[in-house]
Amino acid sequence: MKIDYNKLIVAASDAARRAYSPYSGVSVGAALLAANGTVYTGVNIENASYPAGICAERVAFSAAVTTGEREFIAIAVYGTGAGKGSAAQFPPCGICLQFMREFTVPEEFEVVLGEPEHYSVYKLNELLPISFGPDNINII
C-alpha cells in the first residue's frame, strides 16, 4: 500500500484541535492507518486527577480495536502548544510505544513525526528496540 504520509499528518493535526488538554496546554493528535485503509484518530484527554489522563496514540488505537480492527500500517503523531518547545517532532511516550507494540509488527509498523512536507518516518522497532511483546508471555 502506498502511504500518503502528508494526509496522515494533516489528519493528526486536525484531530489535535479537538484535544482536551487544559492542564498542560499541549494538544496532541494521532492518526492511525489500518490495513483496510481506514484512518482512526485520537487526541490526548487530560483529567483533573493528572495520572488519569490518556495520550492521543492510545485513544486512536483504542478506537480502532473497538471496531474490531487489528492490523495496522502506520501512525502519525502531531503535537502543538505550550509544552512542545522548539522540537520539530512530537515523539510518542514509552507507554504508547508499548501499546502500539501489542498490535503491530515492530519491524514494519511506521511512526510518522513532524509537519506536512517536513517529517520523518521511523519503524516502531527503531523507537522501541528489544521490545516485550505477546511472544514473551505464556498464555495459560
Interface residue list for ligand THU (CB under 6 A): 21, 24, 26, 28, 44, 46, 53, 55-57, 83, 92-93, 96
At its nearest, how many Å lie between ligand THU and the CB of residue 58? 8
Can 57 be counted among the known catalytic residues? Answer: yes
At its nearest, how many Å lie between ligand THU and the CB of residue 50? 9
Q: Which is nearer to ligand THU, 56 or 76 (CB)?
A: 56
128-134: Cβ within 8 A, 24+ apart: 128/94, 128/97, 128/98, 128/100, 128/101, 131/97, 131/98, 131/101, 131/106, 132/98, 132/101, 133/101, 133/102, 133/106, 134/102
Rounded to whole angstroms, the Cα distance separating 117 from 54 reads: 28
Q: Which is nearer to ligand THU, 83 or 133 (CB)?
A: 83
At its nearest, how many Å lie between ligand THU and the CB of residue 134? 21
One of 57, 71, 107, 108 is an active-site residue; which one? Answer: 57
The secondary structure of residue 130, as a DSSP letter, is S
Q: Which is nearer to ligand THU, 1 or 52 (CB)?
A: 52
Measure CA 128 to chain center. Answer: 13
Active site amino acids: 57
